[in-house]
Structure 1
Amino acid sequence: MITWFTFTVVAITALAALICIVMGLWGKVPSDLTVGAIALVEVLLLVQVVIAIIAPFAGNPPAGSLLEFWTYLISAVLLPVGGVVWAFVDRTKWSTVIMGVVAIAVAIMMWRMEVIWTVTTPVTGA
Structure 2
Amino acid sequence: MGAMNDVLVWSATAVAVAVALAGLASTLARRRIGLVHLAGAAVLEVLLVVQAVVAGVALAGGERPPETATFLGYLGGVVLLPVAGVLWSRTEPSRWAGTVLAVASLVTAVMVWRLVQLWEAPGV
TM-score, with length taken from structure 2? 0.86
State the shift of 1:118 in Å. 1.4
Task: Say whether 1:49 aligns with 2:52.
Answer: yes
Instruction: Compute the RMSD of aligned alpha carbons.
Output: 1.7
Instruction: Work out whether residues 62 and 116 of structure 1, in 8 Å CA contact, stay in contact via their aligned partners in 2.
Output: no
Written as runs of structure 1 = structure 2, the 5 A alignment for 1:76-115 is 76-115=78-117
Deviations 1:5-24 (A, max 9, x none): 21221122111111111222
Q: Identify unmatched segments of 5+ residues in structure 1.
A: none
Distance 1:103 1:64 in 2: 27
Q: Does 1:21 align with 2:24?
A: yes
Larger Rg: 1
Q: CA deviation at 1:41?
A: 1.2
**SS of corresponding position for 1:93:** coil
Moved over 4 A (4+): none
Identity of aligned residues (%): 29
1:31 alignment partner in structure 2: 34
**d(CA) in 1 for partners of 2:8 and 2:83?**
21
Check whether the contact 1:30–1:91 (CA below 8 A) recurs between aligned residues.
no
Q: Does 1:120 align with 2:93?
A: no
Match for 1:62: what amino acid?
R
TM-score by length of 1: 0.85
Shift of 1:91: 3.2
Which amino acid is the alignment partner of residue 10 of structure 1?
Answer: T
Please tell me whether the aligned partners of residues 23 and 97 of structure 2 are also in contact (alpha carbons under 8 angstroms).
no
Q: Deviations over 1:33-66 (max 9, x none)?
A: 112211211111111111111123457x233311
Query: Are 2:78 and 2:108, in contact at CA under 8 Å, matched by a contact in 1?
Result: yes
The one of 70, 73, 77 aligned to 1:71: 73
